[in-house]
Amino acid sequence: MNRSVWLMLALGVTLAGMNDTHARDKTTAQPATAAATDDPFLWLEDIHGTRPLAWVEKENAKTAARFADGARFEKTRDSILEVLDSDARIPDVNRRGDYLYNFWRDKAHPRGVWRRTTLAEYRKANPDWEVLLDVDALNRAENKRWVFKGTQCLKPDFNRCLISLSPDGGDAVAVREFDIPSKSFVKGGFDLPVAKTEAGWIDDDTLYVGTDFGPGTMTESSYPRIVKEWKRGTPLSAATIVYEGKASDLAVGAYHDRTPGFERDFVSVAKDFFHSELYQRIDGKLVRVDVPTDASADAHREWLLVQTRSPWTVGGTTYPSGALLAANFDAFMAGKPQFTVLFKPDAHTSLASYDWTQHHLILDILDDVKSRLEVLTPQAGDWKRENLPGAPAMSTISVVSTDPDHSDEYWLDVTGFLAPTALQRGVLGSEPATTIKQDPAFFDASAFTVSQHFVTSKDGTRVPYFEIAPKNIKLDGSNRTLLYGYGGFEVSLQPHYSGSIGRAWLERGGVYVIANIRGGGEYGPQWHQAALKANRPRAYEDFAAVAEDLIKRGVTSPKHLGAEGGSNGGLLMGNMLTVYPQLFGAIACEVPLLDMKRYSHLSAGASWMAEYGDPDTADWDFIKTFSPYQNVKKAVDYPPVLFYTATSDDRVGPVQARKMAARMQAQGHPNVWFYENLEGGHGAGADNRQSAHMHAMAYDFLWDQLK
C-alpha cells in the first residue's frame, strides 16, 4: 500500500461537526521508561482496567451533568442529529461496473445500510435502492455492535466483496467474504478475525493478506509486518509469505492491479509516514521501483506517476519538491527514465490529488488553499492541458469517483463554507459536468460572509486563514469566535460546508475560523516539513498568530476566543493551553496526543516518530518543548478545557486525554472537564447519534465558557 493509504488508516483527521487482538490496546503497549516512572497517572494507561474505567465513569457523569443535560443541550444535539440523519443529504456514490454503491446512515438505520442503484435510478429524486447489507439487522442477528468500515470488491463483475466490520468503531476489523447476488456472507469463504488487517483480491480464489498472524507479526506501530498470499479452501496458517518487513517498519502491504492488459502485482513497505519502498512482484520475485523513498509512485496502465517530496535528480534533470512526473512504466523499470512534468508547484500552489479516467488525468490543484481542476491528456512530449471549469470562489472541488477501466466518467464534490455541497457528474470529451444531487441548506447562509486573510507568523512566514462571520459583524472584540486547526502530516484544511457548524455555532451569532498553519499540506511538502520534529513549534506559532490577528482586528478578544482541534490537532490544542493560555477563553481538545514522552509506546504512536521525533533518544530535548503533559504547571492560570476521547480509539488511544485531565485536576486547576465515549474509535462516535452528542457537548461547552 502506498503512503496515502496508511495516512488514512493511521490519521483519521476529524473535523468536528462534519461530514484491537494484538493490535488493540488492553493495557500499556510497552513498559514505562525510566523517565516516566515518576508519572503518578500511569495507572490510567490500563485502558480497560476496573480502576481507570471507574474514574472515567465518574468524570463522564460530572461533565454530562454540566454540559450534556437540559433543554439547551438537547436542542443543540437534536439540531446536529437532524443534519446527520437527514434524508435530503446527498447519498455519496462510488461506481463499480454498472452500479453506484453507497453506505447510508439515518434515524431508521443508525449503524447503516450498504446499498446500490443504477445511474438512471440515481438521477431520480427518490432512487430505488437495492439493499445489500443492513448492519443493524446483522447486529440483531449476531447480538453484536458492528460498525461498517468499508468493502473491497473483485473486478470486473464486483460480485464478490471483502467487508470490514469493527466491533467498536476502532481500526481493528473482522473481514468477511460477501456474495452480492445472494446478499449473504459466503459460507466457508474468506474470514479473518478482528485485527488491524489489510486484505485485497488477487483473483477469485486468492487474496493478499496482512494481518495479525500471531506474536511478532505486527509492527511496533501496530500494523501488519508480514503480507501473505492466501488460497481459498486452505487455513490462514497455510498462506505463503510474500514479504516480511521489520518490526520498526510502519506497515507492509501488497496489491494486485487488475487493469485489463496491464495486470501487475506490487508490494509496498512503509518505513514511516513519509518514506516507503515499492516493489513490483514478478514470478514471485520483487523488483524495486527505484524512486526516492520519500516520493510516492503509482502505476496506471502504461504510465508511472511519481510525486516528489524533496528535489530529485534523475536522467540529468532535477525536479522540485511537490512535483508530479510521468514516465512510461516499462521503460522506467528497464532503466530508461524519461519524465514529463505534469505539475510543478509555485509559491501559491500545491497538488492536492490526481485521478485517472480511461484516457485522461484530472489534477486537483490548490491555489492559496482554493481548488481548481486541470485535465491532462497523455501525448508525446508535454501532455495536453485544459482547465476544468466549475469551481466557485472560496470553494473545494474534488474528484470523488471515476471509472478508469471503462470510461471517462467523473464525479465531482463541490462545496464551500456557505454553499451546500453539490454532486456533479460529467464525461470528459462528451458531457460537461452537471449537478446530479444537491445537499439542502441546513442554515440561512445569507446572513454570513466568507473572507480569507493572511497574517505574518513569528518567523516572518505568511499564513492564511478563512473566516466565516455575520455580515453585520461589529469589530468590537465581543464576538464568540471558534478557531479550528490541525497542522500536521501534510493534511490540508479546505473550504467545506457543514450544516452542523452552521446550526450549532454560526446561527447562534458566532464566528468560525480555520487556520491553515504549517505542518499541513496547503502549500505542498515544504509547508509540512517546515513544522517537522524540532520545528514543530512553528505550527503553534502560526496558530497563535492567527489568534492574535483576530484579536487585533477586533473580531474577538481572548475571553471570547475558543480553540478546537482533534488528534494531531489535539496536540495543537494542548500547546495552545500550556504555551498560549492568555489568548483563549476556552479550548476543546479532542482524541488528543498530549504525553509526548510516552506517545511512541501507546496505541499506534510509534508510527508518528517521523513527524515528531523519538522521545527515547536525544530528540526528547526538543520534543519536551511541545509536550503539554510535561509542561502543564500548577502556578499558571489556564482557560477552561474539555478533553474528549473514546475508549475504543486504537490510534491515539484514550489514555493521554485521561492523564492530562487527571494531572490538571490534581494541580488544582478549575474548569477541567473530561468525557470518554465507549465506542467510535478515533472518530469518537459509532453512529450519528453518538457523533451528535459529542459535538453538541463541545459546542455548548465552548459557547458557555466564551460568554
**Is 90 domain-assigned?**
no
Q: Which three cell numbers stand for residue 336?
A: 530508461
Structurally, the chain folds into a number of domains equal to 2
> To which H or E segment does residue 383 belong?
none
Is 90:436 a contact under the CB 8 Å cutoff? no
406 and 452, same structural domain? no
Strand partners, 675: 644
**414 and 480 part of one domain:** no
147-171 residue pLDDT tens: 999 999 999 999 999 999 999 999 9
**Contacts with 391 (C-beta within 8 Å, 6 or more apart), sequence order:** 370, 371, 372, 373, 397, 414
Q: Could you tell me how many residues make up the chain?
A: 707
When pLDDT is averaged across residues 21-49 and rounded to a whole number, the result is: 62
Residue 151 falls inside a structural domain: no
Q: How many CB atoms lie within 10 A of CB 162?
A: 23
Whether 304 maps to a domain, the answer reads: no
382: containing domain: 347-441
Q: Note whether 651 and 675 are same-domain residues.
A: yes
Q: Looking at the structure, do residues 501 and 556 belong to the same domain, yes or no? A: yes
**In a shared domain, residues 455 and 420:** no
Which residues carry out catalysis? 567, 682
**pLDDT given at position 13:** 39
Whole-number pLDDT of residue 679: 83
Is pLDDT at 35 greater than 80 in this prediction?
no
Q: In the listed set 441, 458, 492, which residue is the last one of a domain according to the structure?
A: 441
Report yes or no on 219 lying in a domain: no
d(CA 504, CA 688): 15
Inside any domain, residue 342:
no
8 Å CB contact between 306 and 291: yes
Q: Is the bond into 156 cis (omega within 30 degrees of 0)?
A: yes
Per-residue burial over 641-669, b if 16 or more Cβ lie within 10 Å, else e, is bbbbbbbbbbbbbbbbbbbbbbbbeeeeb
Specify if 310 maps to a domain: no
d(CA 590, CA 577): 13
The more confidently predicted of residues 37 and 478 is: 478
With cell 457528474, the residue in question is 425
* Same domain for 475 and 356: no
Quote the crossing angle between the two packed helices 537-552 and 568-579, to the nearest 10°: 60
Instruction: Among 441, 459, 489, give the residue marking a domain's end.
Output: 441
Cβ proximity of 687 and 111 under 8 Å:
yes
Q: Are residues 366 and 472 in the same domain?
A: no
Percent of the chain with pLDDT over 90: 91
CB 360, CB 370: distance < 8 Å = no
Lowest mean pLDDT among 126-140, 314-328, 376-390: 376-390
Residue 499 shares a structural domain with residue 529: yes
Last residue of a domain, one of 441, 475, 491: 441
Is residue 274 in some structural domain?
Answer: no
Round the average pLDDT of the chain to a whole number and report it. 93
Residue 636 and residue 570 share a domain = yes
Alpha-carbon span 455 to 547, nearest angstrom = 10
List the CATH number of the domain containing 523.
3.40.50.1820
Q: Please, are residues 493 and 514 in contact by the beta-carbon 8 Å criterion?
A: yes
Statement to judge: residues 581 and 627 lie in one domain: yes
Q: What is the pLDDT of residues 264-289, one digit of tens each?
A: 999 999 999 999 999 999 999 999 99
Give residues with Cβ within 8 angstroms of 135, minimum separation 6.
109, 111, 112, 113, 114, 146, 147, 148, 165
Identify the CA nearest to 252 among candidates 266, 267, 239, 264. Answer: 267
578 and 645 fall within a common domain: yes
Distance between CA atoms of residues 317 and 299, nearest Å: 21
CB burial class (10 A; 0-12, 13-18, 19+) of residue 591?
buried
Please tell me whether residues 436 and 521 are part of one structural domain: no
Q: For residue 479, tell me if it sits in a domain.
A: yes
